[in-house]
């Protein structure tokens, strides 16, 4: 009798073996408290040594938006979009939610290598903890954004509540991206060096600082392609529900939801498929 037959006869399982997907997701759900606790700990650890502490969660995107607003406001001159300051605030705040989740999710395995190699648990818990961390952060960021938009003269309206389903859709999308990127960087660390370039590509291609419809008004075919740019869709929806004078194409909600579901499926399956390899020593 060989080892495989003996294991089968005695109902023994290989240590570290990848379970079926449905059981794997169930095991991860059972450890949700660990992911939430880890997310809260990282938020505190990232800010406890700063004099302003947790205030930096809201202050950081404000300063980023201010810098970009001044620079690109001057560069665009009279081609600036309507309600320019609010346009920049909404764009930067929502875009940072995406990039922060992608960047931290991409590094979630490689930055916790010792934990991965010493304990047995669903490795998917680590990138999902980063998703929870950024979701907790964005609740603070959105509160700050509401205050700034009101100060800038945007009236409070019922549509502001639609930011909640938008954040839900973005969170699902971000989770898929974080899972996919963490799988890639776990096996090819060089990809972490490309993250700044990836960030800049999405930053400048999604219309964070300028209105895509005006820039591409002479290229209607290319403008139609932008209807399927997920980050652009999120920004258009966000500005449409928050700002005066901006509207949301109804189909964008469906497109964004489709992207979120697709990326979550791809990210989940891709990450789960490599579960057994994450703890291996190179």
Tell me if 11 is assigned to some domain.
no
13 falls within a domain: no
In a domain, 31, yes or no: yes
pLDDT given at position 7: 43
- The pLDDT value recorded for residue 4 is 46
DSSP code, position 275: G
pTM of the model: 0.87
pLDDT at residue number 172? 97
Residue 282 located in a structural domain: no
Domain hosting 171: range is: 20-277
Please choose, from the candidates 262, 272, 107, 280, the residue with its C-alpha nearest in 3D space to the C-alpha of residue 182.
107
Q: How many CB atoms lie within 10 A of CB 89?
A: 25
The tens digit of pLDDT for each residue in 29-76 reads 988 898 889 888 887 777 666 655 566 666 677 777 777 777 766 666
Query: 184: how many CB neighbours lie within 10 A of its CB?
Result: 18
pLDDT given at position 75: 62
- Answer whether residue 4 is part of any domain: no
Residue 144 has pLDDT above 60, yes or no: yes
Is the pLDDT confidence value at 14 over 70? no
In-domain check, residue 149: yes
What is residue 268's predicted lDDT score, i.e. its pLDDT?
A: 95
In the predicted model, what is the mean pLDDT of the chain? Answer: 83
Q: How far is CA 80 from CA 18, 48, 70, 142, 150, in A?
A: 53, 39, 11, 24, 20
At residue 208, the 3 state secondary structure works out as: coil
Per-residue pLDDT reduced to its tens digit, 159-196: 999 999 999 999 999 999 999 999 999 888 778 888 98
Structure tokens at 200: 């800049």
Q: How many domains does the chain have?
A: 1
More confident residue, 189 or 123: 123
Whole-number pLDDT of residue 101 = 93
Q: Percentage of residues in the chain with pLDDT exceeding 70?
A: 84
Element (H, E) at 102: helix 84-106
Q: How many residues does the chain have?
A: 282
pLDDT band at 245 (very low <50, low <70, confident <90, very high): confident
CA dist., res. 216 & res. 221, Å (int): 9
In a domain, 129, yes or no: yes
The answer to whether residue 15 sits within a structural domain is no
81: CB partners within 8 A, 6+ apart? 87, 210, 211, 214
| CA pair distance 265, 19, nearest whole angstrom | 17
């Amino acid at each position: 009798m060989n080892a495989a037959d003996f294991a089968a006869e005695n109902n023994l399982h290989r240590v570290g073996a990848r379970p079926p997907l449905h059981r794997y997701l169930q095991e991860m759900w059972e450890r949700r408290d660990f992911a939430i606790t880890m997310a809260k700990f990282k938020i505190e650890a990232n800010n406890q040594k700063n004099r302003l502490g947790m205030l930096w969660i809201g202050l950081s995107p404000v300063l980023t938006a201010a810098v970009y607003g001044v620079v690109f406001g001057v560069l665009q001159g009279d081609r600036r979009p309507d309600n320019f300051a609010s346009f920049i605030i909404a764009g930067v705040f929502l875009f940072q939610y995406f990039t922060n989740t992608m960047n931290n999710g991409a590094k979630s395995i490689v930055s916790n290598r010792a934990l991965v190699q010493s304990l047995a648990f669903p490795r998917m818990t680590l990138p999902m903890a980063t998703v929870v961390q950024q979701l907790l952060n964005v609740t603070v960021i959105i509160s700050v954004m509401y205050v700034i938009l009101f100060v800038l003269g945007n009236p409070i309206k019922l549509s502001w509540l639609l930011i909640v389903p938008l954040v839900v859709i973005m969170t699902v999308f971000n989770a898929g991206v974080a899972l996919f990127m963490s799988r890639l960087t776990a096996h090819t660390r060089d990809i972490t060096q490309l993250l700044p370039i990836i960030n800049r590509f999405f930053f400048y291609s999604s219309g964070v600082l300028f209105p895509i419809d005006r820039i591409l008004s002479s290229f209607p075919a290319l403008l139609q392609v932008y209807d399927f740019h997920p980050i652009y869709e999120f920004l258009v929806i966000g500005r449409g529900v928050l700002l005066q004078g901006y509207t949301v194409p109804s189909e964008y909600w469906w497109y964004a939801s489709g992207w979120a579901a697709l990326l979550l499926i791809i990210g989940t399956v891709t990450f789960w498929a490599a579960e057994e390899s994450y703890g291996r020593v190179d």
